[in-house]
Amino acid sequence: MANDQRHCSRNRCRNCIGCVCTSFGRSPAVSRKALKSRLVVMASGNGSIAQAIIDAALQQNFPAQIVAVVCDQPEARVLVRATTAKIPTFITPLGADRKHWDDEIFATVESLNPDLVVSAGFMRILSPEFVSHFKVINSHPALLPLFPGAHAVADALAAGVSRTGITVHWVDKGVDTGEVIAQQPVEILPNDDVASLHERIKIIERALIVSTIEKIVLSMRKTDA
């Protein structure tokens, strides 16, 4: 219990009062295969993609559980979504010292012992040390390698292409440069603007990220068998 108390105080777990978080560590006496895989979801904003993962994880037959949501924005709605689902939340705002933030994010996630980290609208670039240490996937609103970066939907419209889409990929040391895991196209309609196109992409994105997580987790279990 003492270790859990230090952990919660250092990383500001919003769900901990007097430290009742006994579930973060994995007991060495419990077989890894007997448990659902452990997901850490990272998000910065509204959390609609995170909500899709939360809803899936609540299903008994889904092979993973969300052990925490990590967020860099103290007022982000994703924190409300997680708290409503009784998922612990960790807030790590970016301050003036980027190295300190990188270290804090790393320590927070490491303490949660995840099998997979899911970037679901997390708007910060993770350090090379982080992406080298953890298995991290990200969803991006374009058909990578086309239109990387934070303005993918607007860039697709500006380019005049007839379709864009959604990509789920492994996160590496670059920006949207990791190996593609899954993609699904979305047609661009003549009257589309950034808002309408992005909303249609999000509908596809929610389903694709959930199905991809499930496939990755099941594949990891086969590898560990």
Alpha carbons 91 and 105: distance in angstroms, whole number? 9
pLDDT at 21: 40
137: phi then psi, degrees, rounded to nearest 5: -120, 160
Spatial contact of 79 and 159, defined as CB atoms under 8 Å apart:
no
The residues that bridge with 91 in the sheet, in sequence order, are 71
Domains and CATH numbers, the chain: 33-224 (3.40.50.170)
Per-residue confidence in pLDDT tens, the chain, 225 aa: 333 333 343 444 544 433 334 344 444 444 444 589 999 999 999 999 999 999 999 999 999 999 999 999 999 999 999 999 999 999 999 999 999 999 999 999 999 999 999 999 999 999 999 999 999 999 999 999 999 999 999 999 999 999 999 999 999 999 999 999 999 999 999 999 999 999 999 999 999 999 999 999 999 988 776
> What value, to the nearest 5°, has the Cα angle with vertex 48 and ends 208 and 186?
40
Active site residue 7: no
pLDDT at 35: 82
Q: b/e for 110-145, b at 16 or more Cβ within 10 A? A: ebbebbbbbbbbbebebbeebbeebebbbbbbbbbe
pTM, to two decimals: 0.84
pLDDT at 153: 98
Catalytic residue among 100, 133, 140, 151: 140
DSSP string, 24-82: SS--TTS-GGGSPEEEEEEE-SS-HHHHHHHHHHTSTT-SEEEEEEEES-TT-HHHHHH
pLDDT at 225: 63
Alpha carbons 123 and 42: distance in angstroms, whole number? 9
What confidence tens digit (pLDDT) does each residue in 136-146 have? 999 999 999 99
> What value, to the nearest 5°, has the Cα angle with vertex 33 and ends 30 and 36?
90
User: Nearest Cα to 160, choosing from 192, 183, 184?
Assistant: 192
Preceding peptide of 88 cis, ω within 30°: no
